[in-house]
Structure 1
Amino acid sequence: MSTEIFEAYLKEFSLYRPKEYKIVVIECRFPFHKKNIAVPDNIHLLRIPPYSPELNPCEQVWQYIKNRFKNQRFKTKESLRQWLHEMVCEMKAETIKSITGNHHYLDALITTFEI
């Protein structure tokens, strides 16, 4: 990914619900994020500290999946791929929210927006 791709993503994402007050995007410290990037007015980037996978929602979801994977045996790569596909497709929004819910985000949001 590059700065240009990330900026394009943010622009398109900001158009998804343009009347929202603020959309919060949790951002890890990828090298391309270090540059000055154009951020739409209705998006706020919440930067997480480096080397903190416990704060990265993607890492938390992968940990959830890996915990269900570790005692599985697959005869082929295709059966593994199929299992992973089904696992991801069957995850409900409530499950993802419960995995990624984190008081650190709420504290940061309260501080950022002075709620």
Structure 2
Amino acid sequence: MQLFSQSYPDDLHIIQLDNGSFHSSLQLEISNNIILLFPLAHTPQVNPIERLWTEIKKQLNWHLFDSLDELRVAVSDILKKLSQKRIASVTGWDFIINTLSVAAI
């Protein structure tokens, strides 16, 4: 987190995580320009990454991979082809944008 914060010191970063135990640590130091956002449990519909994964999985439908490495390459290729505009259109829900605007973030 420290390296990420230092790489983009002039920006505020909101990182949404699910409530998996692997996403929490008492030893993790969060910089002032990072906000960790934890949605309510069992609410994937409010997690933008879920819509992005749905978009990725559509492109993988009906393809049988011979190895995990083949799957990794396929997912990597899909991610490389996604434009920022497309990612924003899939993940930038109005309620998220409006909330950030109201919060002056």
Other-structure match for 2:41: 50
Aligned mates of 1:48, 1:109 — CA distance in 2 = 15
* 1:88 correspondence with 2:86: no
Matched, 1:19 2:10: yes
The 3 A distance-change label for structure 1 pair 88 and 50 is same
Secondary structure, in 3 states, of the residue corresponding to 1:40? coil
Between the aligned residues of both structures, percent identity stands at: 23
In terms of fraction of residues, the more helix-rich structure is 1
Aligned partner of residue 25 in structure 1, secondary structure: strand
Aligned equivalents of 1:60, 1:32: Cα separation in 2: 22
Counterpart for residue 39 of structure 1: 30
Q: Are 2:28 and 1:28 equivalent residues in the alignment? A: no
Change (3 A) 1:23 1:49: same
For structure 1, list consecutive stretches of 5 or more residues without a partner in the other structure. Answer: 1-9
Select the structure with the greater relative contact order (CA < 8 A; seq sep ≥ 6).
2
Ranges in structure 2 where 5+ consecutive residues have no aligned partner: none
Deviation sequence 1:38-86 (CA, Å, 0-9, x none): 210111222222112222233221111112222x334733655543332
| Cα separation, 2, equivalents of 1:85 and 1:67 | 14
> What is the RMSD computed on CA atoms of the aligned residues?
2.6
Residue 87 of structure 1 deviates from its aligned partner by 1.7
How much has 1:15 moved relative to structure 2?
0.8
Structure 1 window deviating more from structure 2 (11-20 vs 24-33): it is 24-33
